[in-house]
Amino acid sequence: MKKIIIYMLLLFMSFSYSQKKELRNADKFYASGEYSSALDLLDSSKSLFDSSDDKIKSQVMFLYGKIHTSMEDFSLAIKAFEMSRSLGTTNEILNPELSKLENAIITSAVGDNETENFSEAAKKLKLAYDINPDMNQQYLYYAASSAVNSMDYNLALEYYLMLSDIKYDGIETKYYITEVESGNEIEINSETEFNLLQKSKDYSDPREEETESKLPEIVKNIALIYKELGENDKALAAIEDARLSNPDDVGLIITAANIYFELDDKEAFKLTMAEAIEKDPNNAVLYYNLGVVSGELGEKDAAVSYYEKSIELDPSNENSYLNLVALILDGEQNIVNEMNNLGTSRTDNLRYDELKKLREDLYRKCVPILKDLIAINNNVEAIRTLMNIYGTLGDNPGYVEMRDLLDQQE
């Protein structure tokens, strides 16, 4: 009996030695960059490792994880590291390798995005999120964006819904400080460095700034994807659900308005935009958007009023000027058509003169608007339009001035 016990003990020690030997040999292959050889050796020794204790098994899976990371088999690497953890490998040992794996995944995903392989980028970025869902939520956001770029809308929807469920807003704190010598404000990459620079005489005027929430964009994308999939009811429900918990979020209100616009519900768009203006009355873009839709609905006077308000709030908003001019000139073609269809009778001649004056009045109304726009940055479209107006009005000096200015721009 004693001999049997000794024999079994020797046999166990032999197995244990063989297991450690194969593990060491595989590790040597890995260290020398012979990843395929290391993987083959581990695979061929599977039955040997299956009979080992958890300590050996955890080391084997840990090595598998490192090999798969180097070979860019990222899904297998994650599974191997997870198994290694479950078998007893500590976070102190695992975390540095998981950090390497995360960096490798992100680097590979960036490369995929640069080569427009958006589908692979989306999957890899999702893997980076899976490594640490609490800390890596931004990667899920980027994964959703890549899925949209690949036109895999179902996958993008899955990711965006996950972001909505975890209430990801993507708000970050940015740090800025001014260099005393140059007077230039620079962005600082970390709070630690920011705090250090504040103690230096070489820097002044430190400030912090929070980025805008990404929640409105996420909700908007969920709604647009539902729309793309033909599920308009779910699109609107996504907006309403988001607004229930964020009723005063102007971004969400505007998002809802944009969805109504996408669904061609222009009346709902106007009502929602009016609500947004009530909460943010000094937002020139809101008035501009209302001008666009009011114009499309044939509400010309309201559209003119909205464009004028947009210009009042933001005199540099070039599109408001151009759209206002286009709206004023909208009736010109009908006037021209009627003028062309008139005969040569006395009555027709009188009507012609009336129409000519109406047309010239439209032009004269546009002149100060276009001059204000040109004063901002010599907008080429405004210069060309004003040149044509001066030509029609017979204002030769004005025509020559705009012609010369146009030549300078072109």
CB-based burial label for 409 (10 Å; 0-12, 13-18, 19+): exposed
Q: What is the pLDDT of residues 32-54, one digit of tens each?
A: 889 999 888 888 877 776 667 78
- Residue-level pLDDT at 9: 38
Exposure string of 119-134, with b = 16+ CB inside 10 Å and e = fewer, is bbbbbbbbbbbbbeee
- Residue-level pLDDT at 103: 94
Handedness of CA 300, 265, 153, 143 (dihedral sign): positive
- Residue-level pLDDT at 249: 78
Closest CA to 52 of 85, 80, 87: 87
Per-residue pLDDT of the chain (410 residues; tens, 9 = 90+): 444 444 343 334 444 546 677 778 888 888 888 999 988 888 887 777 666 778 888 888 888 899 999 999 999 999 999 999 999 999 999 999 999 999 999 999 999 999 999 999 999 999 999 999 999 999 999 999 999 999 999 999 999 999 999 989 999 899 999 988 888 899 988 888 888 988 888 888 999 989 888 888 888 889 889 888 888 888 888 878 777 777 777 877 887 887 788 778 888 888 888 888 888 899 898 889 888 888 888 888 888 999 999 999 999 989 999 999 999 888 788 888 888 888 888 888 898 888 889 888 888 999 999 999 999 888 899 999 999 999 988 889 999 998 989 888 86
Give the pTM: 0.65
Token representation of residue 6: 């000794």
**Domain locations along the chain:** 2-89, 173-210
- Residue-level pLDDT at 123: 95
- Residue-level pLDDT at 74: 93
For the packed helices 215-228 and 137-149, what is the interaxial angle rounded to 10 degrees? 30
Q: How far is CA 78 from CA 64, 126, 162, 397, in A?
A: 10, 12, 20, 75
- Residue-level pLDDT at 51: 67
- Residue-level pLDDT at 19: 61
Provide the β-strand partners of residue 208: 175
Q: How far is CA 388 from CA 316, 320, 331, in A?
A: 23, 20, 17
Q: What is the pLDDT of residues 284-301, one digit of tens each?
A: 988 898 888 888 888 888
Q: How far is CA 197 from CA 22, 59, 156, 311, in A?
A: 52, 44, 41, 41
Q: How far is CA 229 from CA 156, 221, 402, in A?
A: 12, 12, 50
- Round the average pLDDT of the chain to a whole number and report it: 86
